Amino acid sequence: MSDLINILPSYLEGATDAEKIVFFQTLLHLAGVDGATEDAEVEFISKAAQKHGIKSLSALKGYDNEATVLDKVKIIKDRHLALELIREMCMLSHVDNVLSDEETLFIGKVGIALGIEIEKIEQISNWIIDRIIWLEQAKLIFEEV
């Protein structure tokens, strides 16, 4: 979990306040889309949001309706920021070590709303999975288990 938070880059510093809010609303919706919001997921989102100037999650209300989130996310026009959102969504979906069908479907819907090809989403997801495996192998190699 802390490994994921530590790699959050500063790409959001160039985003508008509206883009930041939609970015984190999308993550919050993803956290609950499988019917069980984990504390680790909320912690991940909360710390990242605070790092980017959003003082509390209450400022992100309006994330519970999927159609609304999918409509709002379209304000993100910068492809790099859109790809980073997909990356963060893929990382968040693995925080609880279970990638549900609902999470996969929602990530796909967000990608489509952002104009990102399904192949690119799969590429990002596979990269995240490879990174998680790599981190777990490092723990074994360096006897940090």
Mean pLDDT of 123-144: 93
Domain boundaries, the chain: 2-141
The encoded tokens of residue 75 equal 């304000």
Write down the mean pLDDT value for the chain: 89
Residue 9: per-residue pLDDT: 59
Buried residues in 101-134 as b, exposed as e (16+ CB within 10 A):
eebbebbbbbbebbebeeeebeebbeebeebbee
Task: Assess contact for 23 and 15: CB atoms under 8 A.
Answer: yes
pLDDT digits (tens, 9 = 90+) for 37-80: 888 888 888 888 888 888 888 888 888 899 999 999 999 999 99
Residue 53: per-residue pLDDT: 86
More confident position, 124 or 4? 124
Residue 113: per-residue pLDDT: 98
Task: Assess contact for 3 and 135: CB atoms under 8 A.
Answer: yes
Q: Please give the Cα distance from 124 to 126 (Å, whole number).
A: 5
Mean pLDDT of 4-22: 77
- Helices 39-51 & 17-32 angle (0-180, nearest 10): 170
Residue 55: per-residue pLDDT: 87
Task: Assess contact for 59 and 21: CB atoms under 8 A.
Answer: yes
Asked if pLDDT for residue 82 goes beyond 70, the answer is yes
- CATH architecture, domain 2-141: Orthogonal Bundle (1.10)
pLDDT band at 8 (very low <50, low <70, confident <90, very high): low
pLDDT digits (tens, 9 = 90+) for 92-115: 998 877 889 999 999 999 999 999
Asked if pLDDT for residue 5 goes beyond 70, the answer is no
